[in-house]
Structure 1
């Protein structure tokens, strides 16, 4: 076996080890949370439960929904909570091939990406959910009882958690593009009208057909884009001064 083949095998072995650690973290969290799956689902569903009309409640239309839906919620939460470990294992795998200067830039970007993802999920739960689940029951036609299905609610929760979590990563994406020289803050600033239109289109595609939810996603995305421009420009200037 040549040195190149040995190097490839060692990298594959290390990659497998990193993946196993990430998967084991998720499995441990699932095992720990599973006995409390019902309570966890009730907690996550509290924004809609608290706004149901008196005498109404959520329903389960599927035969196995009372068991499978809380279990799926536990799996999704395990993935979300495991995100720092997953990203760390990815970082530990690629870090040995980076220069010291690249590591100095990459480390804060990785940390901020994790924090921003959780901020996006928290924004969805504490700000967006209470608004849309006050709005939706109010627009139900007369004579129609608003009683959401637990599985449908889970689908919306997952969609909005990841939509807002990924949307809050915009500053990181902008900074990376500027630092790598793919584009510049000036070019992005000139393209601002197109970016704003694109943001609203993305918000429309990622959220339920509810204007308030789309606006609640689009406005933070726009502000985060502007923040990414400022930070990317500042870091680029700092990098250029350091190289002089």
Structure 2
């Protein structure tokens, strides 16, 4: 291996180390700032369920350490989510020199809109999915049963919802990207709608409680996002076709 190649590898490793340190520092800094508000942050996340519990009922902690570590765990996850744009930017600064100008032109707007869609998925979950789901789960409980939610189990459950919907909202971007790089096309997607519908229900079964309404609440938005992805891809393919005809 020549000295030039060795030097190039070393420079790349130094640059990678710099970007990783930047990511770690911003996450830790954000976490330390938010830690002071960790209990308040958990309260905000728990509101969709708390306001539906019977009067005087509170959430419980099964483990003695849960009241301390559960809000801290939530705060750390939130720190990662908040700093995600900065961290992706660090990754972009590392890999962008190796990309062609045409590739950058395609990837940059996709990254931008993927952030918007991911955070939109989380907001949609908090304001739409969680209230509807918890109304159903709490109102169908027999009168003889008192609902007492464990704070740790609740956090794990809503994190599943947030991540699932955050990623699900990326479906239109993913489908469009796959069409751009010609891995799939809209014709194939349209012919496999029934399989996609089944897959969305399988995913919802893994995330939600084992009742059909909860699964529909999750599966339906996912399938709608799939159809939006097909719409975007169709517009893209039609645009490319018109350009070729000219």
Distance 2:33 2:59 in 1: 26
- Residue in structure 1 matched with residue 65 of structure 2 by the alignment: 64
Unpaired runs of at least 5, structure 2 = none
Aligned-partner Cα distance in 1 for 2:5–2:219: 48
Give unpaired runs (5+ residues) of structure 1.
none
The alpha carbon displacement at 1:181 in A equals 0.8
Looking at structure 1, the residues matched to 175 and 66 of structure 2 have their Cα atoms a distance apart, in angstroms, of 41
Aligned to 2:26: 25
Aligned to 2:120: 119
Which whole-Å CA distance do the structure 1 matches of 2:84 and 2:95 have between them? 17
Residues 232 and 130 from structure 1, CA distance in 2 versus in 1: closer, same or farther, beyond 3 angstroms? same
TM value normalised by structure 1: 0.93
- Distance in 2 separating the partners of 1:194 and 1:17: 44
How do 1:94-173 residues align onto structure 2 when only pairs under 5 Å count? 94-173=95-174
3-state secondary structure, aligned to 1:58? coil
Q: Contact 1:38 / 1:70 at 8 angstroms: preserved in 2?
A: yes
Are the aligned partners of 1:178 and 1:233 in contact in 2 as well (CA < 8 Å)?
Answer: no
SS in 1 for 2:167: helix
| TM superposition score normalised by structure 2 | 0.93
How many residues end up aligned between the 2 structures? 244
Aligned-partner Cα distance in 2 for 1:171–1:63: 43
CA contact (8 A) 1:61 1:149 kept: yes
In the other structure, the counterpart of 1:195 is 196
What SS does the corresponding residue of 1:45 show, helix, strand or coil? helix
The 4+ residue runs of structure 1 with deviation greater than 6 A are: none
Query: 1:72-87 maps to which residues of 2 (within 5 A)?
Result: 72-87=73-88
Between 1:125-134 and 1:234-243, the stretch displaced more is 234-243
Relative to structure 1, the CA distance from residue 239 to residue 90 in structure 2 (aligned partners, 3 Å threshold; closer, same or farther) is farther
